[in-house]
């Protein structure tokens, strides 16, 4: 059947400090990596990057908070993943300030030989454009960084005045 991996958001119950004084503050969301292998979602444990509470990730954008679990030691770290990455790739990801989910995505693509996988490294919006860089894993030891720029086009409804 094959394998596919994806970064996605899950919600925590915590609130970022800058929103605590709001009447209805938004709950924090953070990026995790998940995979489907042979048609089955691979359940995992992820740790909130704000409060440290552990989540059981059971589907894309779906998790349960593991009560009384903070600082779970079994969650792989960036340093753990770097042990299996080529040095050049490790250095590239670290220079881009990549998060754990990005390191996990790269590691998954390499381990499952998902050549030509494109992984977002950075993205920003400025003056009507979205710019950034993606990593393309060409083969086991070949990688390419692809810059991109997209125009943000805002269409105006002709019926609105």
pLDDT in tens, 16-27: 989 988 899 999
Instruction: Tell whether 6 and 49 lie within a shared domain.
Output: yes
User: Which of 32, 51, 75 is where one domain is finished?
Assistant: 75
Nearest Cα residue to 93 out of 120, 113, 66, 117: 120
Q: How confident is the model at residue 2 (pLDDT cuts 50, 70, 90)?
A: confident
3 state SS of 87: helix
Record the pTM.
Answer: 0.87
Say if CB 117 and CB 143 are below 8 A apart.
no
Which range of residues forms the domain containing residue 153?
A: 76-161
Q: CA–CA separation, 100 vs 49, rounded Å?
A: 10
Taking residues 105-123, report their average pLDDT.
Answer: 96
Query: Which residues lie closer than 8 Å to 134 by C-beta, 6 or more apart?
Result: 118, 119, 120, 121, 145, 146, 148
Instruction: Tell whether 152 and 86 lie within a shared domain.
Output: yes
């Amino acid at each position: 059947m094959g394998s596919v991996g994806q970064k996605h958001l899950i919600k925590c119950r915590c609130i970022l400090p800058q929103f605590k004084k709001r009447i209805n503050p938004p709950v924090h969301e953070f990026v995790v990596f998940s995979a489907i292998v042979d048609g089955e979602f691979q359940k995992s444990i992820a740790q909130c990057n704000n409060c440290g509470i552990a989540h059981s990730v059971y589907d894309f954008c779906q998790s349960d908070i593991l009560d009384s679990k903070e600082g779970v030691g079994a969650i792989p770290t960036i340093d753990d993943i770097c042990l299996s990455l080529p040095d050049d790739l490790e250095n590239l990801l670290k220079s881009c300030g990549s998060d754990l989910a990005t390191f996990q995505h790269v590691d998954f693509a390499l381990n499952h030989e998902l050549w030509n996988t494109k992984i977002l490294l950075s993205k920003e919006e400025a003056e009507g454009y979205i710019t950034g860089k993606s990593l393309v894993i060409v083969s086991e030891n070949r990688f390419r960084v692809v810059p991109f720029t997209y125009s943000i086009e805002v269409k105006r409804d002709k019926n609105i005045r």
